[in-house]
Chain A
Amino acid sequence: MIESLLTFFSLLFGSFIILYMLVVIFIYSVMLIISFFNIRKRYQLDQEGIDEENLDATYMKPISIIVPAYNEEVGILDTIYSLMSLRFPQTEVIVVNDGSKDGTQDKLIQAFQMKKVKKVVKKVLDTEPIIAIYQSSLNQNVWLVEKENGGKADALNAGINVAKYPFFCSIDGDSILNEKSLLQVMNPIVTSNEEVIAVGGNVRIANENNVQLGSISSPKLPRHYLVVMQVIEYLRAFMIGRISLSKFNMVLIISGAFSVFSKKWVIDAGGYSKNMIGEDMELVVKLHRYVKEHKLKKRIEFVADPVCWTEAPQTLSVLRRQRRRWQQGLLESLWKHKRMTLNPKYGAVGMVSFPYFWFVEAIGPLVEFGGYVYIVVAFFLGDIYLEFAFLLLCLFVLYGSVISIASVLLDAWNNDVYLRNKDLARLMVMSLTEVVWYKPLTLIWKLEGYLAFILRRKEWGTMKRTGLSEKGSSS
């Protein structure tokens, strides 16, 4: 009796996981198809002319670039050089030193000949006190804000207070932009008559690439196996998830590494939330919420063209910490705004995005982990369980590797970033191995994120960087 009950429940559990996987595979496939059509429409379109035209200050709005920095001495100079060489009519760069304990500030002061200035700051968002403000003698538009430590969100809020332009762009202290990225990311805002209030760009991984005074000359695919897996992951997330969600104004995550916001709306929505781990997702959700609650016709978009290069973790321990944080941040935001879920008041965001994020991103890791455990256990139990396990394994391959390869292909077809056949082959082969090692690893880390969410752990989320430039080039 007990045995048959046990069999029944374990088969039920197996069927549940299989059903879940089928649904998710279906959702991913639909998203993939939407992205494909979206990309196909613009295929071969000559974007050059539009960019050139936008370079004219008559059309473009000025923008403040905020770089929050906490112990970023390795990459900070490259980032600022890259920002100074951007093609954009009018910008100011505000580095916010959030109480770094390393040489971040000294390096900046020295490299840009920063001088302390007295500047009245309108405190529209509440932040930890600002200690001093410096202005570069080499370029009047480069500022350094020294403030007491308050976390990344607090640093960004301080940057918003100091910023003088109506739009701001947040960029991580270790990121490099292509020279036209800012123009392209601003395009949806200006062409939509500011109906678009936030735009996220595409983030690519730059490890092992050589950065000389703020630009990457010829990108190559990193060799490190862990980094290659992340390249695939990023492609997958950007090429599939975000393009299709953006089409219907349902994006919940635009990368904190590179996004542009309209200052007014961010301030109205209360700025970045200080006590949240995933401040970038939280802000986007808050903006959606504000817009819907005030019945405004505003959009948040993701654009695939403008690229921001960032450094990905190269060791398991750093990657683990990052993933744990991401999962924790995601859960915190979803939980905080749980009332938006399936609430028609919030339109597509409430009815589709939220359920999607709960179902795929939040519950997903639990179910997938259950699936992996099931496969291992079933292997020992044999018999009917083994068939179930085999079925599940096939679905994992479909869900992981096949979809990843599809994203890699879609990206290769659309962009010529890695113009070498060897690279394409490597990406495809590595996608195949995803199910066996990378996926289970990230699952465990995500589960740790769950734990952290329940225990409400806090940290700034620093990562040890190796820097993108060759030794001595700009540091």
Chain B
Amino acid sequence: MEISIKMLIASIAIIMMIQVCLGVYISMKYKKKLRKTNRQETYMESVQQGWYDFFFGEHREVPDVLIPTNKEEIQVVEYIFLTYLNKFSNEGIREKVQHFANAYLHAHYAKQLKSVKWSIRMNALFRIFDFHIDRLKDECVKLENKKLSTEEWFQLFKIYAIFDVSGFLSKLANYPNSFSEHEYRKLINNVPLDSFVILFTHFKELPRACQLSIIDIVGLKRHSDHVPFLEEQIQSEDSEIRIRSLKAVYEIGWMIDLETYKPFVQSPIWEERLMVSKLFSRLPIEQTYPYMKKLLEDESWWVRSETAHSIARVKNGEDKLLEFLQTSNDSYALEMVQEILQKGYE
């Protein structure tokens, strides 16, 4: 017993000693970090104006003073670049950043890509993407031979999506794991608009989550040339693809043909009925009212609600709602319409 107590006290004492040392180490690290932050702030002040002149001036070549000479300065430059890229969507700035990064930062990131630390490799991949450093494309491809985490693969795909769409798609089709829809969206959103045709050609080969993301992104890009592709998808056997395509057509905001969409009023899936009621707000109420009336009395609360909102949005819509109030005796629908009429539409 005595021995065990002694041992226990000794081990507690040792652990606490170690903890105190760790505490001292961490506080030294704090101090070091503070000093580093101060140095970086001074550097930032000295180069800020120079970078502003470079980005908004005529010169393509960077003055020597702006070229960072060590890691700390590179971090400042990264910060400046990211701020400019996020604040201004200006092709000129993007090109200048790309040009500079290709010339002066590639060696730094190439080295980071080889790091054994996952977080450092990830940071390098983030920056290669942010600054569009195409000079490191081959280094990225080489990375594929290593055992990579899903996060790293994702960053690689993002980089491929901006540089080489065909390669990106064939790699994506053969990638053994899958990403989430959210991640596919991020990938697809980086594909240049003029390369979307390639996406459409390879559409069937891609994982379903990726297909859904393509449809969503097509909707968000609002390009009317893409409507035929979506109208092809609304004939799909997969209901989710149909619903998403209907939504995308709505997002694009293009005039639609009543005949193409009419069948969805009878759909057994409420989401399809809801989407079609939204789509019909693109057409004159005189054409769509018979269908809208049916949708106003739909069994689903969501469909009724959306339809009432849709009608209120179109020209003469409120008159039609008033007419509906007098003719219908569906109490649920009436309640909804009353709410809309009182509030006006959002």
Chain A: residues with CB nearer than 8 A to chain B? 41-46, 48-49, 52-53, 56, 58-59, 117-120, 122, 140, 190-193, 195, 384, 387-388, 390-391, 394-395, 397-398, 402, 405-406, 409, 412-413, 416, 419-421, 424-425, 428
Which A residues lie within 8 Å of B19 (CB)? Answer: 402, 405-406, 409, 428
Verify B339–A120 contact, CB threshold 8 A. Answer: yes
A405 nearest in chain B by CB position: B19
> Of A193, A384, A425, A428, which one neighbours B182 at CB under 8 angstroms?
A193
Question: A388 CA to B8 CA in the complex, in Å?
Answer: 12
Interface presence of B36 (CB below 8 A): no
A45 nearest in chain B by CB position: B119
Min C-beta distance of B153 to chain A, whole Å: 13
Question: A56 CA to B16 CA in the complex, in Å?
Answer: 47
Question: A192 CA to B33 CA in the complex, in Å?
Answer: 34
- The 5 closest A-B CB pairs, nearest first, are A193-B180, A45-B119, A421-B27, A190-B182, A394-B8
Which A residues lie within 8 Å of B2 (CB)? Answer: 387
B183 nearest in chain A by CB position: A191
The verdict on A49 contacting B209 (CB below 8 Å), with A394-B5, A416-B30 known, is no
Verify B220–A391 contact, CB threshold 8 A. Answer: no
> Of B8, B9, B343, which one neighbours A117 at CB under 8 angstroms?
B343
Which A residues lie within 8 Å of B27 (CB)? Answer: 421, 424-425
Verify B8–A395 contact, CB threshold 8 A. Answer: yes
Verify B186–A119 contact, CB threshold 8 A. Answer: no
The verdict on A52 contacting B86 (CB below 8 Å), with A192-B180, A409-B19 known, is yes
Question: A192 CA to B209 CA in the complex, in Å?
Answer: 12
Q: How many residues of B contact A (CB 8 A)?
A: 50
Which A residues lie within 8 Å of B119 (CB)? Answer: 41-45
Question: A41 CA to B9 CA in the complex, in Å?
Answer: 33
Interface presence of B123 (CB below 8 A): yes
Which A residues lie within 8 Å of B338 (CB)? Answer: 118
Question: A391 CA to B86 CA in the complex, in Å?
Answer: 60
Which B residues lie within 8 Å of A425 (CB)? Answer: 23, 27
> Of A45, A56, A398, which one neighbours B122 at CB under 8 angstroms?
A45
Which B residues lie within 8 Å of A120 (CB)? Answer: 305, 335-336, 339
Verify B23–A118 contact, CB threshold 8 A. Answer: no
What are 29 A-B contacts defined by CB distance under 8 Å?
A: A42-B119, A45-B122, A46-B126, A52-B82, A53-B186, A58-B185, A58-B216, A59-B182, A59-B189, A122-B301, A190-B182, A193-B180, A195-B180, A384-B1, A387-B2, A387-B5, A391-B1, A391-B4, A398-B8, A398-B15, A402-B16, A402-B19, A405-B16, A405-B19, A406-B19, A409-B22, A409-B23, A421-B27, A424-B27
Verify B182–A419 contact, CB threshold 8 A. Answer: no
Verify B189–A58 contact, CB threshold 8 A. Answer: yes
Central interface residue in B20, B26, B33, by most chain A CB within 10 Å:
B26
Interface presence of B346 (CB below 8 A): yes
Which B residues lie within 8 Å of A42 (CB)? Answer: 119
> Of B12, B186, B339, which one neighbours A394 at CB under 8 angstroms?
B12
Interface presence of B269 (CB below 8 A): no
Question: A395 CA to B12 CA in the complex, in Å?
Answer: 9
B301 nearest in chain A by CB position: A122
The verdict on A119 contacting B339 (CB below 8 Å), with A45-B119, A49-B126, A413-B26 known, is yes
A425 nearest in chain B by CB position: B23
> Of B86, B123, B185, which one neighbours A44 at CB under 8 angstroms?
B123
> Of B5, B122, B180, which one neighbours A391 at CB under 8 angstroms?
B5
Which B residues lie within 8 Å of A397 (CB)? Answer: 12
Question: A49 CA to B122 CA in the complex, in Å?
Answer: 11
- For the A-B complex with A58-B216, A398-B8 known, give 16 more contacts whose Cβ atoms are closer than 8 Å: A41-B119, A46-B126, A48-B82, A59-B189, A118-B342, A190-B182, A193-B180, A193-B181, A387-B2, A402-B12, A402-B19, A409-B26, A412-B23, A421-B31, A424-B26, A425-B27
Which A residues lie within 8 Å of B182 (CB)? Answer: 59, 190-191, 193
Question: A122 CA to B19 CA in the complex, in Å?
Answer: 56
Which B residues lie within 8 Å of A390 (CB)? Answer: 5
Which A residues lie within 8 Å of B185 (CB)? Answer: 58-59
> Of A405, A413, A419, which one neighbours B34 at CB under 8 angstroms?
A419
Question: A53 CA to B339 CA in the complex, in Å?
Answer: 38
> Of A41, A140, A195, A398, which one neighbours B118 at CB under 8 angstroms?
A41
Interface presence of B206 (CB below 8 A): no
Min C-beta distance of A378 to chain B, whole Å: 13
Which A residues lie within 8 Å of B47 (CB)? Answer: none
Interface presence of B199 (CB below 8 A): no
Interface presence of B283 (CB below 8 A): no
Min C-beta distance of B78 to chain A, whole Å: 9
Verify B120–A44 contact, CB threshold 8 A. Answer: yes
Interface presence of B93 (CB below 8 A): no
Mask, B169-189, CB within 8 Å of A = 1, is: 000000000001111011001
Verify A387–B1 contact, CB threshold 8 A. Answer: yes
Question: A166 CA to B300 CA in the complex, in Å?
Answer: 17
The verdict on A424 contacting B23 (CB below 8 Å), with A394-B8, A416-B33 known, is yes
A395 nearest in chain B by CB position: B8
Question: A58 CA to B217 CA in the complex, in Å?
Answer: 8
Mask, B301-319, CB within 8 Å of A = 1, is: 1000100000000000000
Which A residues lie within 8 Å of B231 (CB)? Answer: none
Interface presence of B73 (CB below 8 A): no
Which A residues lie within 8 Å of B26 (CB)? Answer: 409, 412-413, 424
CB-CB contacts below 8 Å: B109-124 with A: 117-120, 122-123
Which A residues lie within 8 Å of B186 (CB)? Answer: 53, 59
B120 nearest in chain A by CB position: A44
Which A residues lie within 8 Å of B118 (CB)? Answer: 41
Which A residues lie within 8 Å of B339 (CB)? Answer: 118-120
Question: A190 CA to B336 CA in the complex, in Å?
Answer: 32
B184 nearest in chain A by CB position: A193
B180 nearest in chain A by CB position: A193
> Of A46, A402, A413, which one neighbours B123 at CB under 8 angstroms?
A46
Which B residues lie within 8 Å of A58 (CB)? Answer: 185, 189, 216-217, 220
Verify B120–A193 contact, CB threshold 8 A. Answer: no
Which A residues lie within 8 Å of B343 (CB)? Answer: 117-119
Which A residues lie within 8 Å of B305 (CB)? Answer: 120
Which B residues lie within 8 Å of A424 (CB)? Answer: 23, 26-27, 30
Central interface residue in B16, B305, B338, by most chain A CB within 10 Å:
B16
Question: A41 CA to B16 CA in the complex, in Å?
Answer: 25
Which B residues lie within 8 Å of A384 (CB)? Answer: 1
Which A residues lie within 8 Å of B34 (CB)? Answer: 419
A193 nearest in chain B by CB position: B180
Which A residues lie within 8 Å of B216 (CB)? Answer: 58
Question: A354 CA to B16 CA in the complex, in Å?
Answer: 32
